Structure 1
Amino acid sequence: MASATRLPLKSIAFTTALVVAAGSSRINLRALLTSTFTGPGSYSRIAALLVVVANLKNVPFAWHYRVFNAILRHCVFCKRIIPPELAPSTLFLPVITSSRSPLSECDYNFHKSNSTYFSDLDVTRSHLVCCLLQPGIARLHHNAQEKLVLDAQGNPVLGRWGIMLGGVQCSFKREIGIYEPFEMWTRMLCWDRKWLYVVTHFVKKGTVRPRSYILTDGSWFGSKPYDVKGDGKAAPEEEDVDEKNIFASAVSKYVVKLGRLTVHPEVLLAASGMLPERPGGWATMNGNSGDSTPEIVEAGADADADAAPASSGDEWDWKRIVAQNERGLKFAEHLAALDGLHHEFSGSKAPALGRYRDFIF
């Protein structure tokens, strides 16, 4: 995600489409199908083709397609359109990404292997981050003109930007069977001075439905408007989710960089129109406030002197945003604490149990 977002996405999409179109025009499809499904060795070719189709999710470059599909969809072809006054109510809402677990993802128990959860997380996180933060990403990409991040002299900071994955923790609850469909419900959990925390729930497909959809799946060639029926309210309390339908839950953390500077998450959120007005404003990177932080930034939320109890009603004002963020931080602080594990590496201070080769390398 970090490297991809810096690339010229429109140029890549146009060039790829041009190459595919040019290549397709030179292929005699009828002759290709005839030679594949008839003649000597046709049974072997058909069997190989069926294996590839049955495991299409894990063929070479399938992961790249899935991630770039999310990035291009939200950043180029189908940018979200949400009225500014309603955007804060969508900040903590999930995006839902559906998938299956083919044979190539399963272990010897014919369950989805724990390692494959992380490649799926790459895809669903890309959908969420690009959907929520696309306006801020565009402004950060043109920081020289937008002046979101300034140095101590008040000049816009120049440099390559990126959204970097800093860590993932996944808690497994129930197994996902072979070819069993599932959904990934991914939403913003919270943020602190350095990290954006994202939570993902792997859920049995069809067992849980949101009250409505704010954004439709849309089209690669145009956006669809905000669904006015989706007001961002939580589902009624009596519609509790049966935990038996939750396969796993994961928390990921992202850091936003511009050159070697760490960009405060609130700067990107505000630039994306996701934060309501707040007395005194949100965090800035204006170079004079001291918020323009260097490479190393302490994790943890700032002491919020003006934080107040969440407001009543359905309005997503700054008080409710702060309260929801602090609620998420109670979970995120445990992931942040795992950074201390690096100090537990013994290295050459102690002997090793053994050394073994994995596969042929």
Structure 2
Amino acid sequence: MSSINPGPVPDPIVFPDYRLRRPLRVLSTPSLLAPYLPAILKSGPPALVQRIIAILLLFNIRSFPLFWHIRVFLPAVWARFKARPSIHPLLPWISSSKHATTQPGTSPALRLDALPLGKDIFNDVETYTCRAWPDDCDWNLHVSNSAYSRALDYARMSFLSSRILRFHFDGGWMALGGAALTFHKEIPFMAKYEIRMQVASWDDKWFYVLARFVSPAKGHARTRQAGVRKRSRSAQNLKAMLIDVAQPQGKPPVRPPKPDEEQEAGLQEGEVEQSLEGRTIYATAVSRYCFKSGRRTIPPWLVVATSGYGTFASTRSNWERAEGLRRNILSREQAKYQSKHGKAMPRDGIIEGGGHRKAGIMSVYDPARAEGVGKEDNRGLGAWQDKASWNLGEFEERRLRGLEEVRTIVGGVLPSSGSAALSISRS
């Protein structure tokens, strides 16, 4: 029986071709580099190469492992440290009595100047200064699209941590549910820019936060803007508070006549024009948050009502009512814990804990009772879970206006029928 010799087997078709692979394999053979390795290891890379590597590492240090986590979570931890009535934020375990704090019976005791008491939630604006570092920029030498979201992580956490601090100790947490970015103009390489954060609006589930990426204001322009902002807010707040003081406590304030409303709106729009005068708006972002306590969804109106925000006398009464609820619920839960476990309920730490936070007002919120207007809570706490029982009339008109602007203008967060430049004018 004869055998058939098929001849040499051809090389398979690969990329790169074997004609290129064979010389590369020879050049990379360790035996070829062995005579030179001691000299390379002894002398190291050339000085110029070392300088280039050091510069690259320095300019990209913000992309090192864990740097993002430190940058995002440090503002939240720092806000809680500063809220403790201690001799210094870095020594929170050494208490001090020189600070005005929340009333006894609520836990923990927080400094009143660390809470947004008496502030207008829509005019509470905070600015964060950033720079377009190399690790933020792409090959076109401007900030890449993804870098905007990374900068927003820091700004959003820093902005919200100090403003809903009371909500955190009430047993709640927040979750980011979406964000929409609109790019207007590029941020050049190494340029300094600012992120201006403010509350845009809220509905029965979502809380919307507005961020503007803008160029920094000049020194004289910044001083002039502060003066205009102070005068316009003083005029607006004085007129609104005079109307509100005349109303019976616990009732929503009567809306001022239409001409006065138009004048107030004009002041707000003029304030925005002054604050953004001479600046470049690089991008606009709207983020939506959902408030949670365990697996329960907490409506934003309850968070706002119990946070301390409000300039009207009727709105400020929400804070006293919320503090009373905190004392009643905590004392009741402490008694239940004592009878069940035979020991006192453990206190929470600065960052987290499973004691008093589990007895916060958000932890006992029942969404099923939210519709029972005027009905008493079966635990004797009143109808506090009903939206109509809180004084939020101060914010309602601007909340609806902001919600409509978010719904109509920004796509991706809410259904949108068109697009345009964001025009929310309350900063």
The CA deviation string for residues 179-210 of structure 1, in whole angstroms up to 9 with x for no partner, is: 11100001111111001100000010234635
Matched, 1:115 2:146: yes
Q: Deviations over 1:11-46 (max 9, x none)?
A: xxxxxxxxxxxxxxxxxxxxxxxxxxxx74473444
Task: Report the alpha carbon displacement of residue 176 of structure 1 after superposing the two structures with TM.
Answer: 0.2
* Worse overlay, 259-268 or 273-282: 273-282
Is the 1:92–1:189 contact (alpha carbons within 8 Å) kept by the matching residues of 2?
no
Deviation at 1:84, TM superposition (A): 7.8
Give CA-to-partner distance per residue, 1:309-335, whole Å, 9 cap, x none: xxxxxxxx9433212211210122245
**Of 48, 67, 74, which aligns to 1:62?**
67
Mapped pair 1:49 → 2:51: no
Q: 1:333/1:86 Cα in 2 relative to 1: closer, same or farther (>3 Å)?
A: same
Aligned to 2:282: 247
1:319 — aligned with what? 393
> Which range moves more in the overlay, 53-62 or 95-104?
53-62
Whether the aligned pair in 1 keeps the contact of 2:217 and 2:278 (CA below 8 Å) is: no
Distance 1:62 1:196, change over 3 A: same
Cα distance in 1 for partners of 2:415, 2:198 equals 26
Contact preservation (8 Å) 1:95, 1:127: no
Across the aligned residues of Structure 1 and Structure 2, the Cα RMSD in angstroms comes to 4.1
Q: Percent identity?
A: 24
1:50 is displaced (CA, Å) by 1.6
Structure 1 CA distance, aligned partners of 2:74 and 2:116? 29
Q: Which moved more, 1:267-276 or 1:256-265?
A: 267-276
The yes-or-no answer on 1:195 pairing with 2:206 is: yes
In 2, distance between residues paired with 1:337 and 1:40?
53
Which residue identity does 2:295 align to in structure 1?
R
Deviation at 1:48, TM superposition (A): 2.0
Change in Cα spacing, 1:59 to 1:201, as seen in structure 2 (3 Å) is: same
The amino acid of 1:48's aligned partner reads: I
1:60 deviates by: 2.5
Structure 2 counterpart of 1:265? 300
Hey, what does 1:345 align to over in structure 2? none
Any idea what SS the aligned residue of 2:157 has?
Answer: helix
Which residue in the other structure is 1:77 paired with? 82
2:377 alignment counterpart? none
Tell me whether 1:92 sits opposite 2:123 in the alignment: yes
Which whole-Å CA distance do the structure 2 matches of 1:287 and 1:280 have between them?
A: 23
Report Cα offsets for 1:138-190 as digits up to 9, x if no partner: 122xxxxxxxxxxxxxxxxxxxx431111100110010011111000011111
Cα separation, partners in 2 of 1:85 and 1:251, compared to 1, 3 Å: closer
Aligned partner of 1:77: which letter?
K
* Amino acid in the other structure paired with 1:178: F
Change (3 A) 1:259 1:289: closer
CA contact (8 A) 2:186 2:282 kept: yes
Partner Cα distance (1:247, 1:288) in 2: 40
C-alpha contact (below 8 Å) 1:189/1:199 kept by paired residues? yes
What is the alpha-carbon distance in structure 1 between the residues aligned to residue 185 and residue 149 of structure 2?
A: 16
Using the TM superposition, give the Cα deviation of residue 89 of structure 1 relative to its aligned residue in structure 2, in angstroms: 2.3
- For 1:210-249, list aligned pairs within 5 A: 211=226, 237=271, 239=274, 241-242=276-277, 245-249=280-284
* Corresponding residue for residue 291 of structure 1: 370
Residue among 141, 165, 175 paired with 1:164:
175
Which residues of structure 2 form unaligned runs of 5+? 1-42, 85-110, 238-267, 323-360, 372-386, 417-427
Asked whether the 8 Å contact 2:180–2:411 carries over to 1, the reply is no
Report the TM-score, using the length of structure 2 for normalisation: 0.50
Matches of 1:82 and 1:124 in 2, distance apart? 21
What 5-or-longer segments of structure 1 have no aligned partner?
Answer: 1-38, 141-160, 215-226, 293-303, 307-316, 342-361
Contact 1:201/1:250 (<8 A) preserved: yes
2-side partners of 1:102 and 1:108: how far apart? 13
TM-score (normalizing by structure 1) = 0.58
**Structure (1 or 2) with the greater helix fraction:** 2
